[in-house]
Amino acid sequence: MNKLVNLIRFSFAVVTVCLCGSLLSAPYFITGEVIYLENQETIETAGDITVDETIDETAEETVDETEANTLDNSEEASTENSQELEVSEEAVFDPMSAQVVITYETTNEEGDTEEVELVAQEFTEGRFFFRESTTEPLDLTITVTKSEDEQITSSAVLEPGRNLRFAYVVGNDSYPYDRLVLVGQSLSKEQDSKATIVGDLSDTNVDLSRATAYVYGRTTDDEGEMVLVMSPTVLLHEDRFQIEVGTDKPMAVNVVIYSVEHDFSAVVDAVIEPGNTVTVNSTERNGRSLFYAEGGERHTKLISNWQKSDKYLDSTAKYQIAYEQWHASEELNEISEDTEVEHDSTEEAQIDETEKETQDEVVEVADIELAEGCEHVEAPKVADTATMYPWREAYDVMNDMKHAMLEHLALTSEDPINALLALDIGAFGYGRDQERALEVYDKVLASYEEETSVPKWIMKSYEDQKDRVEIVRNAKAIVVGQKAPTFTLADRDGNEYTLSVVLAQQDTVLVDFWASWCGPCIASFPHLKEMHKAFAAEGFEIVGISIDSEMDDWLEALDEHDLPWMNVGEILGDDTLSAGSVGHTYGIQAIPTTIWIDSEGCIIGKNLSYDSLEEALVDRYGEITETDES
């Protein structure tokens, strides 16, 4: 009887400890460091805590001493800094003592989301240290404040009992910019629905001492709406990284490994699944380090068969060699152009003739049928990319090999999910025969007994693919020598402009599709402003069409960039580029897209480079001198 009583007491004690233990806070460390790219100087974190180090009593004692010393030094440094600030009228930003704020969101009793500040403190001589405990995972936002107008942020997941390490990578005023990155690993809160990507690149011959990695991809929610998935950027730790991605279904992703300092990048295709791990490895071909991924049944079927094949790896190495040779020659040409060298008239004549011969070699006339009323349009000149870019042939061989395998899998796979994943990876994608993707969807839909049983996300993806096919068809019709479809859109004040009316009032019009979030679009504005100023009096006009989703974004961009030409908007929210829209009619697949149209409504140029457009404008209107401009 006593034994039974004791057994019950023991069982009760075990249950009590287990229940209480699950509610106990687990300690963690958050450490940070400052890294300067230009001199590759790294300031190690206090205690030199490694990735996912186990927290024990000894470690805590060490940290106690380190933390005390750090705080003492911080107080002395703070006093010295205060004295210096009194002398200086304006404090200069110093990354080594930058302010770091770490926050997380929580839900209050009313169900509202609140932001909670976990810690706010400065780097001390390039080091950051914080110790606390938690009972549950936290979604953190780490922020470094450079000024009132400039902050750098990174997201991170903190788990009980696991350490978090980040780095503030100090770049330049121009690219590469300052960045906040995690060190070694990025975790996910989705314990039951996450995939893990692990990289061990210690065998590569590439210097990855300051390389970073991140994962991005696209998936859909239950309603079929597209969701962009992008992990925080992780700084490799001893040439290794671990990135967890929350996902409840198989997903095609790219693993990007990048080194700014060593001008190196690699993009690795992978298929991830909940509960699975994909490992990124390296191999060598012709002295070049190549990367591939392994792991998971779907990944093996869809990617490993071609990604790890000797034929594909050899073709990838050949492409890398060809590209490196071309890139090196381009850099030498830039150096030569920047160096002033004396030439006599005979040498200059020879150089000019050589350049002319080269240009004649790389240009051919496109074989097109001009639309009625556009017989006066000169057939466009098309660059011979094989001559301009000698690496292109090797790239096409590599790319065709990959897509041929994916397209075969998409058409023949008995697993509808694998067929759709093959499309996501690139089968029948941009630059390929996108109409054949509809064959894949037809086969997938036929695998379901009733249409009502088809998941919403598959039906939505099917409808989106049909839209893409229509856009591609339309894009093929918007070419030089064809008529530009007219349209009517309103400016910010509601005044409507019709293209045909504007063309009747001008000699030529450049239609520019753009958006406030498009970096290359914004970068084009100074060049367009110069050309608009120079040739507007001659009958050259620009009509900018914003395809922003939100009206406020468009209006703010107009105010910020002060565009001096006609600006209209097609602000359709989530229906941007939907059927019937101007962007859809013009086959817009990327921005900026520019269409140059003459007064007859004929397209005379499409996506011309700045130099080509300026040259064409000079040919049409003559050289504009300073006297002419005034």
Could you tell me whether strands 363-365 and 251-259 are parallel, antiparallel, or unpaired per DSSP bridges?
unpaired
- Under DSSP, is residue 569 helix (H, G, I), strand (E, B) or coil? strand
Q: In this structure, are residues 143 and 151 in contact, taking their beta carbons and an 8 Å threshold?
A: yes
- pLDDT bin (cut points 50, 70, 90) of residue 367 is low
Domains (range + CATH), the chain:
27-171+178-183 (2.60.40.10), 488-629 (3.40.30.10)
Please give the residue that has the higher pLDDT: either 171 or 187.
187
CA 187 to chain centre: 20
Share of the chain above pLDDT 70, in %: 79
pLDDT the model gives residue 335: 66
Q: What are phi and psi of 550, to 5 degrees?
A: -115, 135
Please state which of the ranges 98-107, 268-277, 336-345, 352-361 shows the lowest mean pLDDT: 352-361
pLDDT of residue 588: 92
Query: How far, in Å, CA of 582 to CA of 492, rounded?
Result: 17
Strands (DSSP E) contained in 159-273 are 164-170, 179-183, 185-186, 194-200, 212-220, 226-230, 234-235, 240-246, 251-259, 264-272
The torsion defined by the Cα of 344, 326, 255 and 288, in degrees rounded to 10, comes to: -130
- pLDDT higher at 26 or 575: 26
| SS3 at position 343 | coil
Cβ contact 29:52 at 8 Å: no
Q: Is 526 helix (H, G, I), strand (E, B) or coil?
A: helix
- Residue 385 tokens read as 């990319």
pLDDT tens sequence across 339-351: 544 444 433 333 3
pLDDT at residue 553 above 90?
Answer: yes
Residue 473 has pLDDT above 80, yes or no: yes
pTM of this prediction? 0.76
Question: Is residue 78 predicted with pLDDT exceeding 60?
Answer: no
What's the angle, vertex CA 11, arms to CA 10 and CA 14, rounded to 5? 85
Among 6-10, 221-225, 400-404, whose mean pLDDT is lowest? 6-10
Dump the DSSP string for 182-195. Answer: EESEE--S-TTSEE
pLDDT-based confidence at 183, cuts 50/70/90?
A: very high
The mean of the pLDDT values for the chain is 82
- The percent of residues above 90 in pLDDT, for the chain, comes to 56
CA–CA distance, 430 with 193 (Å, rounded to integer): 31
Could you tell me the two tokens for 568?
Answer: 């209209």
pLDDT band at 546 (very low <50, low <70, confident <90, very high): very high
pLDDT of residue 24: 63
- Among candidate residues 67, 307, 5, 26, the one with its CA nearest the CA of residue 162: 26
The per-residue pLDDT for range 374-429, each reduced to its tens digit, is 999 987 665 555 556 788 889 999 999 999 999 999 999 999 999 999 999 999 98
Whole-angstrom Cα distance, residue 365 to residue 374?
A: 17
More confident residue, 337 or 267: 267
Give the integer Cα–Cα distance in Å for 254 and 216: 6
Length of the chain (residues): 630
